[in-house]
Amino acid sequence: MPFLELTIPCREADQPRHERALESVGALAVTLADAHADAPDEQAIFEPGVGQTPLWDEMELTALFEGGTPPELLLHALTAADEGVDWSRARFREVADQDWERAWMDQYEPLKFGERTWIVPWNHALPDGADAPGSAIVRLDPGLAFGSGTHPTTALCLQWLDRLAGDGALDDVTVLDFGCGSGILALAALKLGARAAVGVDNDPQALTATADNAARNDVGDRLAVYLPEDEPVATYPVVVANILASALVALAAPLAARVAPGGRIALSGILVGQEDEVLAAYSDAFEALVVDRLDDWIRITGTRRATAA
């Protein structure tokens, strides 16, 4: 089906606030490109890599939204999200889904997280060092579902899972990936030693992407995916939730209920400045809460109390 594409010019210094506003109103993907590029081989940046920043002083941000989204209502929502941005400069057009899927894959390069975790596009040769003993290699083709590993929120979760694996905390356990997107975190957990994984997402397209990626990595029989309303009642020793801070706060009670006593949780998708509200929402059910930061994003980890405080 077609999607609605929004393109708006901005300066490098304003790029984070533009992207935050676009994500807050439901952007499925955001790309960056040089506003003055004339060369035929000019390439967009899809989710700048960890530690990387755009190379251009002036750029264009292009965001993808679900087809049928009314542009006028989207502009109203963006103005409410950040009235300091001149959203009237935005341009709209409809695009086919395959245009974005394949363009994403053309730009994606292998990435390493922690000591042993590699995320490699399915059609890319393994980089040097990825075949070392103990390496966990995830072959990924996320299509339009969020989760390539390059965004700081995903990177923070991958680093956490890699560390758990180093401590033996993933050995033979079942992991819940709440808000699974492409399934990247569930797949990484399986490759790092988990016995099984469960992916939950409210987007059917994300569940399809997760199932496809699980089959590509030969772990389809160890990963189950559900819409929230279909998820079976269970508790898990390891839970990771990479969603927006507002959703984390709203879902604090049901997420806590999914973590077994003594189990561990990682909460990501939190912008700097939002961590206090999330900490307050989880402090009764979890102890040893730790805040880690990467760029403008926060990850909170903790251990489930045996009983609520």
Residue 154, marked binder:
yes
Residue 129, marked binder:
no
Place of tokens 């299509």: 143
Asked if 169 and 192 count as a contact pair (C-beta separation under 8 A), the reply is no
Kindly write down the DSSP assignment for every residue of 30-96, as one continuous string: EEEEETT---TT---EESPPTT---S-SEEEEEEEE-TT--HHHHHHHHHHH-TTS-GGG-EEEEEE
Which phi and psi (to 5°) does residue 185 adopt? Answer: -75, -40
Q: H-helix or E-strand containing 197?
A: strand 196-200
How far, in Å, CA of 250 to CA of 131, rounded? Answer: 41
How many Å from the N-terminal Cα to the C-terminal Cα in the chain? 49
Which phi and psi (to 5°) does residue 171 adopt? Answer: -60, 115
In the chain, which ranges are continuous DSSP H helix?
15-24, 71-81, 97-107, 152-166, 184-191, 204-216, 245-250, 252-257, 275-282
Residue 201, marked binder:
yes
Strand order in the sheet with 297-304: 223-226, 196-200, 174-178, 236-242, 259-271, 297-304, 286-294
Residue 57, marked binder:
no
* DSSP-assigned letter for residue 180: -
Point out the annotated binding site.
154, 179, 201, 242
Point out the annotated binding site for S-adenosyl-L-methionine.
154, 179, 201, 242
